[in-house]
Amino acid sequence: MSDSVSAGGECEPRHGGAETAAELQRARQDLQRLAIMEPLTRLLHRQAFDEQVQQELADASAHGRQCTLVVIGLDGFRLLNQVYGQRVGDRILQAVAARLRNFVREPNLLGRRGGDEFVALLRDIADADAAMGATREMLAAIQRLERVGNLEVQVDASAGVVLFPADGGDIDSLMEAGDGALARAKREGGRRCARFSADLGRAKDLRIRLEQRLRRACEARDFRLLYQPQVSLPDRRLIGAEALVRWNDAELGDISPAEFIPIAEASGLIDGLSDWVLREVCRQRQMWRQVGLDLPPVAINLSGVQLRSPGCVRSVLETIDEFQISPEEIEIEITETWVFDSSSLLAQENLQRLKMAGVRSVLDDFGVGASSLVQLRDLPIHRLKIDRSFTVECMRNARTLTIVKAVIDMAHNLGLTVTAEGIETADQESWMHHLGCDSVQGFYIARPMPAEDFLRRYLAERTQPTSSRSIVDGGPAVDSVQ
């Protein structure tokens, strides 16, 4: 690293004439520093960082030293910029740079490569464990609530960690490996760091390919929609269905929505995809309506990315209006993490607007995130779906059972109904009834099915008395919980 530049590359521009030789010298140095700085954060810009890393790698190589390259990205920064505007985004980047500067000191190098990506070269890190430890500390230093004017914005970050010379011999291969590791950390949920591994290269290729194929599928509207029935307890009356999108790619085969929805979210394809899902549900309902059928509501999964966008509610309402669907014929499912994230004020406002317009919202996958029932109190939702992992765990663990019981009771006290997801056995259905759950959804009741089969099921129910379908009341044997 050059002696004249600190790790943060920070300096103050000087004004006025340089009267003495010393001042002239100082002014020259300042100008040199400014030339290698990125103006917003005053960290080394991409080219300067790369040049200094190259020197550092050559030196490390000559002396048999190891270094660690850390690539840091802010979680959800694109969204944060969209929602709060670029000025707030800029302030966050400056705050993150300041915290990193405190942490990454000379002779280490620190730079910003553009967007929300920061890079650090840590010298003399002896092994992977030490590198991961240092990176975790760096992330802990960045992750906190940032106040910008009247706003409080939660800053979260992820990082990719690569070692020189083990993971790459030059700046380009190290950066590529670092980007891959960062992408993995984000894919795994963010707020974490991931180490580069050889299989990442293959994963990256697949991900790029998936995105290309998904783009084509979105253009061609090449999806299908299945409907998974939801039934009340204990009488198993059909109370609705969840619409679940399916994608079969000619080259890649069936791809799970759990895999392609995050790609659609990250690549901006989600708007078109969700629009297709909503239109498909509305079109289907319109057809049912035209033949005089009044099926129970269909729930649509709305991506959190959309729920946080300003035009979201207008677009939903315009579509249902276009198909002359009334608001109570659809429901919006939204996962807990999106609603409770600290920068999700807009999401909550949008839920409120949907409620005012008569569209009911359901909190999906409850229990997976870190939200509490207290936070549910003010949320404009009418139903809670307990995540499948809880349904399964309930059967194995008496403590989880107690928690689920408390969740159901408190939800009821808040005026919410509760659906248990992922019911796969008669015992699970029985237990959920016993615990006070209002309804269930899962393979044991019915797998996701095409619209015609869902209609058939609805018509069959209309001709069959509900009592013959109900589960045995009185609760399952207690020893089914180990």
Query: Nearest-CB residue to ligand C2E?
Result: 442
Residue 146 bridge partners (DSSP): 153
CB of 447 to Mg ion, least distance (A): 15
State which amino acid sits at residue 474: G
Binding partner of residue 263 among Mg ion, ligand C2E, none, CB cut-off 5 to 8 Å per kind: none
Instruction: Give min distance, CB of 34 to ligand C2E, in A.
Output: 46
Which CB contacts under 8 angstroms, 24+ apart, belong to 169-172? 169/57, 170/54, 170/57, 171/50, 171/53, 171/54, 171/57
Q: Is the peptide bond before 165 cis (omega within 30 degrees of 0)?
A: yes
Q: Which is nearer to Mg ion, 301 or 309 (CB)?
A: 301
Look at the block and give the residue holding tokens 């869902």: 454
Cβ proximity to ligand C2E: between 7 and 354 the closer is 354
Q: Which chain residues interact with ligand C2E by CB under 6 A?
A: 228, 244-245, 256-258, 261, 274, 277, 301, 303, 333, 364-365, 388, 421-424, 441-443, 448
Q: In the complex, what is the shortest distance from the CB of residue 240 to ligand C2E, in angstroms, rounded to a whole number?
A: 13
Residue 206 interacts with, from Mg ion, ligand C2E, none (CB under 5-8 Å by kind) = none
- Residue 86: CB atoms within 10 Å: 9
240 forms bridges with which residues in the sheet?
Answer: 230
Q: Are 336 and 368 in contact (CB under 8 A)?
A: yes
Closest approach, Cβ 260 to ligand C2E, in A, equals 9
Q: From Mg ion, ligand C2E, none, which one binds at residue 343 (CB under 5 to 8 Å depending on kind)?
A: none
- When CB distances are held under 5 to 8 angstroms depending on the partner's kind, the choice from Mg ion, ligand C2E, none that residue 419 binds is none
Which of Mg ion, ligand C2E, none does 423 bind, CB closer than 5 to 8 A by kind?
ligand C2E
- Partner interacting with residue 76 (select from ligand C2E, Mg ion, none; CB below 5-8 Å by kind): none
Q: With respect to Mg ion, which residue has the nearer C-beta, 29 or 337?
A: 337
Query: 448 is in the binding site of which of Mg ion, ligand C2E, none (Cβ under 5 to 8 A by kind)?
Result: ligand C2E
Q: Which does 277 bind (CB under 5 to 8 A by kind): Mg ion, ligand C2E, none?
A: ligand C2E
Eight-class DSSP state of 480: G
Residue 364 in tokens: 């999906």
Check if the beta carbon of residue 67 is closer than 8 Å to that of residue 161.
Answer: no
Task: Name the minimum Å distance from CB 370 to ligand C2E.
Answer: 18
Angle at 270 between CA 265 and CA 274, to 5 degrees: 140
**Among 272, 444, 424, residue whose Cα is nearest residue 261:** 272
Q: What is the rounded CA–CA span in Å between residue 450 and residue 243?
A: 10
Residues linked to residue 299 through DSSP beta bridges, in sequence order: 242, 331
- d(Cα 163, Cα 69) in Å, to the nearest integer? 6
Query: Which residues are CB-contacts of 229 (< 8 A; sequence separation ≥ 6)?
Result: 238, 240, 241, 441, 445, 446, 449, 454, 457
CA 240 to chain centre: 27
Backbone torsions φ then ψ of 236, nearest 5 degrees: 55, 35
Residue the block writes with tokens 């790459």: 168
Minimum CB–partner distance for residue 384 and ligand C2E (Å): 13
Shortest spacing between CB 154 and ligand C2E, in angstroms: 22
Shortest Cβ 250–ligand C2E spacing (Å): 20
CB of 228 to ligand C2E, least distance (A): 6
Q: How far is the CB of 441 from Mg ion (least distance, A)?
A: 8
- Choose the contact partner of 257 out of ligand C2E, Mg ion, none; CB within 5 to 8 A by kind: ligand C2E
Contact set with Mg ion (CB under 5 A): 301, 333, 364-365, 421
Residue whose CB is less far from ligand C2E, 69 or 261: 261
Q: d(Cα 437, Cα 383) in Å, to the nearest integer?
A: 11
Nearer to Mg ion by Cβ, of 116 and 421: the residue is: 421
Show the beta-strand stretches assigned E in 340-457.
360-366, 383-386, 417-420, 439-440
CB 218, min distance to ligand C2E, A:
12
Q: Decide whether 1 or 243 has the Cβ nearer to Mg ion.
A: 243
Closer residue to Mg ion in complex, CB, 244/345: 244
- By the 8 A CB rule, do 327 and 358 touch? yes
Q: How many CA atoms lie within 13 A of 335 on its CB side?
A: 14
Q: Which is nearer to Mg ion, 183 or 394 (CB)?
A: 394
Task: Please state, in angstroms and rounded to a whole number, the distance separating the CA atoms of residues 393 and 428.
Answer: 10
Q: Which is nearer to ligand C2E, 288 or 444 (CB)?
A: 444
Nearer to ligand C2E, 122 or 316 (CB): 316
Report the C-alpha gap between 396 and 391 in whole angstroms.
10
Between 99 and 388, name the residue whose CB sits nearer to Mg ion: 388
Q: Looking at this protein, which amino acid is placed at residue 445?
A: I
Q: Which of 173, 63, 193, 195 is nearest to 127 (CA)?
A: 195
